[in-house]
């Protein structure tokens, strides 16, 4: 068992609770992105035993975080929204130089790759101007809302594995984010099970698709990844606080995020892409 994956799962779980922050990006920061894709894809095959030691501690960390910290994240986003978002901005921006170095952008990227970065980044950044749907908080599962919640979980989990796209943000756009957070905070098992089932299906499908793209179109896929990460900055950016104290706190959390990304990239990721 790779028990240090518990703390990795903790960070991925925290990111998945926050709209705009991608669990895939955090997996890149932690140096386990490709291994994560391989493990998820391989777990649903005959070779599942090879991957259980990697996935189980990760799942424990993620699951525990989602259950324990959902209320804390609600509190931080409500009372310290800008500071929380600036911390994750630092994390996200801090991972771009690491990915660029790993894939050797200067050597391997052509004009088409740079154009892909710009197009994908601009497309994701445009979501900052999209108004999320709001269907209220669903607390009771019915035959009419079960399918919608399942499909929302599916869409959200596919986004979770893509760096730059937040699964929580997709849930927000679909109008079920408050339902998911409320279900986690109050242990509403029926709704958790339905959304969770969609999440599992989404993980299976997206992990196989992304692995295929990385194997066949490596640099094009990483051009998309970098574009998604850059574009997500515009989605997450909350604006500068007008209060001087809050502004200083936001800048501090931003630089802490940069530092954390740098430390993880330097010490936790020893494998090359």
* d(C-alpha 31, C-alpha 25), whole Å: 10
221-270 pLDDT, tens digit each: 989 988 988 888 888 888 888 888 889 999 999 999 888 878 766 655 54
In this predicted structure, what is the pLDDT of residue 112?
95
d(C-alpha 66, C-alpha 70), whole Å: 6
d(CA 109, CA 131): 35
In tens, the pLDDT along 190-228 reads: 999 999 999 989 888 888 888 888 889 989 998 998 898
Distance CA 11, CA 26 (A): 7
pTM score: 0.72
Q: Given this model, what pLDDT does residue 255 score?
A: 94
Pick out the chain residues at pLDDT < 70. 1, 19-20, 131-135, 164, 264-273
- Provide the residue ranges of all domains of the chain, joining segments of one domain with +: 71-272
Q: Residue 249 class from Cβ within 10 Å (0-12 exposed, 13-18 middle, 19+ buried)?
A: middle
């Amino acid at each position: 068992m790779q028990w240090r994956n518990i703390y990795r799962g903790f960070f991925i779980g925290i990111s998945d609770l926050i709209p705009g922050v991608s669990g895939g990006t955090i997996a890149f920061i932690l140096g386990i992105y490709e291994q994560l894709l391989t493990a998820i894809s391989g777990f649903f095959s005959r070779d599942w035993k090879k991957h259980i030691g990697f996935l189980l501690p990760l799942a424990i960390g993620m699951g525990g975080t989602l259950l324990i910290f959902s209320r804390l994240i609600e509190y931080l986003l409500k009372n310290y929204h800008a500071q929380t978002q600036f911390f994750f901005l630092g994390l996200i921006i801090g991972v771009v130089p690491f990915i660029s170095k790993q894939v050797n952008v200067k050597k391997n990227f052509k004009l088409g790759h740079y154009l892909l970065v710009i197009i994908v980044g601009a497309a994701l950044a445009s979501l900052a101007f999209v108004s999320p749907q709001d269907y209220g908080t669903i607390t009771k599962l019915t035959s009419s809302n079960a399918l919608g919640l399942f499909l929302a979980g599916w869409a959200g989990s596919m986004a979770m594995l893509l760096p730059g796209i937040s699964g929580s943000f997709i849930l927000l756009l679909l109008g079920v984010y408050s339902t998911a957070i409320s279900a986690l905070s109050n242990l509403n098992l029926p709704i958790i099970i339905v959304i969770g089932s969609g999440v599992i299906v989404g993980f299976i499908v997206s992990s196989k698709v992304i692995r295929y793209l990385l194997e066949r179109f490596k640099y094009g896929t990483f051009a998309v990844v970098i574009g998604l990460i850059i574009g997500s900055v515009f989605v997450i950016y909350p604006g500068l606080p007008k209060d001087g104290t809050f502004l200083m706190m936001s800048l501090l959390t931003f630089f802490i995020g940069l530092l954390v990304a740098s430390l993880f990239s330097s010490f936790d990721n020893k494998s090359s892409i």
